[in-house]
Amino acid sequence: ELVSAAEFVKSSTKTEDCPSDGLPEFALVGRSNVGKSSLLNSIVRRKRLALTSKKPGKTQCINHFRINDSWYLVDLPGYGYASAPQQLRTDWDKFTKDYFLKRQTLVSVFLLIDASIPPKKTDLQYACWLGQNQVPMTILFTKCDKRKKAKNGGKRPEENAEDFQNLIGEFFQTAPPWILTSSVTNQGRDEILLHMGQLRNY
């Protein structure tokens, strides 16, 4: 499937305010700087589509983009800002977790994980929370074009991805699907769209 139309629909601050037309949706979430905006734009082949979510004041919003008039890509605020005050982090948790648990039309969460670095604790905790709460999840490993460096633990992106999956395995009844991606080479883009299509028609 090709993305022929992508339009920003709305920013919502609560699950109840999200679009109510019943179209299926996929939510993108990940640590800040994981490459979420880049991947979103790579998927829809647009530059700067996701910028709305980066504007001040929109960072705590659920941002809906309608694709091909038939489904939604949802951009959620990034987590794990080291500098964010504890109160903000707690609010963020409540707000997104409420969305994950209540949003009826959510087909799958797409959790973005940076594969150019070894697994991080916040990411592991996040994935495990989704697993324990039986929220359907797909892992998108980002930045798979990045070559190993000593500071990355000397591992290739594929190896970091495998380590991550092994660490979260016990929290899932069945291993979550995963896709290796890069916004630089567009690796994984077709696979993501294919996977989303399969999940919608399930």
Residues that bind ligand GDP (CB under 6 A): 30, 32-38, 78, 142-143, 145-146, 182-184
Token digits of residue 11: 């920013």
Nearer to ligand GDP (CB atom), residue 103 or residue 143: 143
Nearer to ligand GDP (CB atom), residue 30 or residue 176: 30
Tell me how far, at minimum, the Cβ of 159 lies from ligand GDP, in Å: 17
Token digits of residue 18: 């999200």
Tell me how far, at minimum, the Cβ of 104 lies from ligand GDP, in Å: 27
Tell me how far, at minimum, the Cβ of 170 lies from ligand GDP, in Å: 27
Tell me how far, at minimum, the Cβ of 181 lies from ligand GDP, in Å: 7
Nearer to ligand GDP (CB atom), residue 82 or residue 170: 82
The residue with its CB nearest to ligand GDP is 35
Nearer to ligand GDP (CB atom), residue 102 or residue 149: 149
Tell me how far, at minimum, the Cβ of 132 lies from ligand GDP, in Å: 24
Nearer to ligand GDP (CB atom), residue 8 or residue 171: 8
The DSSP string of the chain is: -----EEEEEEESSGGGS--S---EEEEEEBTTSSHHHHHHHHHT-SSGGGGGGSTT-TTSEEEEEETTTEEEEEPPPB--TTS-HHHHHHHHHHHHHHHHH-TTEEEEEEEEETTS---HHHHHHHHHHHHTT--EEEEEE-TTPPP-GGGTT--HHHHHHHHHHHHGGG-SSPPPEEE--TTT-TTHHHHHHHHHHHHT-
